[in-house]
Amino acid sequence: MLKPNIVVLTGAGVSAESGLKTFRDADGLWNGYDINEVATPQGFAKNPALVLNFYNQRRKDVANAQPNAAHYFLASLQEQYSVQIITQNIDDLHERAGSKNVLHLHGEIFKMRSIANPFLIYPIHSDIHLGDLAPDGTQLRPFIVWFNEEVPLLEKAAEWVAAADILIIIGTSLQVYPAAGLINFVLPDTPIVIIDKNIPPFPSKKNIITIEQPATRGVESLPAILEALSDS
């Protein structure tokens, strides 16, 4: 008998409980920075040193963070289910908790790439400096999908969602597009479980279960829910 296929979409609310700043706060700032200055190609062109330093600090923050109970719970689901995680987060906390099948929609903080060729990608665990060049002779930049850039893995993520037996959404406001649009690819009869301390507005669909809790608390309700959904 095939294991039920669970697809999980995670956002900043999961990483926040590990002490990492959420990407976008209500004031449009990220850790005191204007998003347009540090998370757009235009910002990088205007002041590349500022952007590199910003992500160098994010890399240190992630290196010092630890997976939390939500990360570990999602990894444990692999024992009973086929699990695919689509995350909007750039950290590696899902992987460090043991999850094997993780798709990073918005890039990965421990990778860098050529500014000219998005397919020239290299690991990085230290700092990227102005003047650090890729083999093609161009400046290296963080392997991050910035605002106003295409999301290369969006099509693959949509395929995962469309094939889900159960979709779990944790710690995301469903406000950042195109990632928020992934919910539109779920099949009409597929159950959706949404966990967030502030349940976001979402398209009118049947089979939706909401758990208004932070990620680490909300996942405590999942075992019984998943067992009931798998048996139904």
Report the CATH number that the domain containing residue 231 is assigned in CATH: 3.40.50.1220
Could you say which of 123, 144, 165 is where a domain stops? 144
Q: Of residues 71, 94, 106, 129, which has the active-site annotation?
A: 106
Pairing of strands 33-34, 29-30: antiparallel
Please tell me whether the overall predicted TM-score, pTM, comes out greater than 0.85 for this model: yes
- Are 218 and 169 in a shared domain? yes
- Are 100 and 138 in a shared domain? no
CA angle 174, 214, 186 (to 5 degrees): 35
pLDDT band at 206 (very low <50, low <70, confident <90, very high): confident
pLDDT of residue 46: 97
Mean pLDDT for the stretch of residues 196-215? 84
pLDDT digits (tens, 9 = 90+) for 43-74: 999 999 999 999 999 999 999 999 999 999 99
- Are 213 and 168 in a shared domain? yes
Res 213 pLDDT > 90: yes
- Are 229 and 173 in a shared domain? yes
Residue 48 in contact with residue 139, Cβ under 8 Å? yes
Is 106 among the residues known to form the active site? yes
| Number of separate domains in the chain | 2
pLDDT digits (tens, 9 = 90+) for 73-104: 999 999 999 999 999 999 999 999 999 999 99
Q: Which domain holds residue 214?
A: 1-20+68-106+153-232
* 146 to 39, 48, 105, 118, 121: CA distances (angstroms): 5, 13, 11, 13, 16
- Are 8 and 95 in a shared domain? yes
* 19 to 13, 66, 221: CA distances (angstroms): 10, 8, 23
Res 205 pLDDT > 80: no
Closest CA to 44 of 107, 110, 115, 113: 115
Compute the distance between CA of residue 146 and CA of residue 44 in angstroms, rounded to an integer: 10
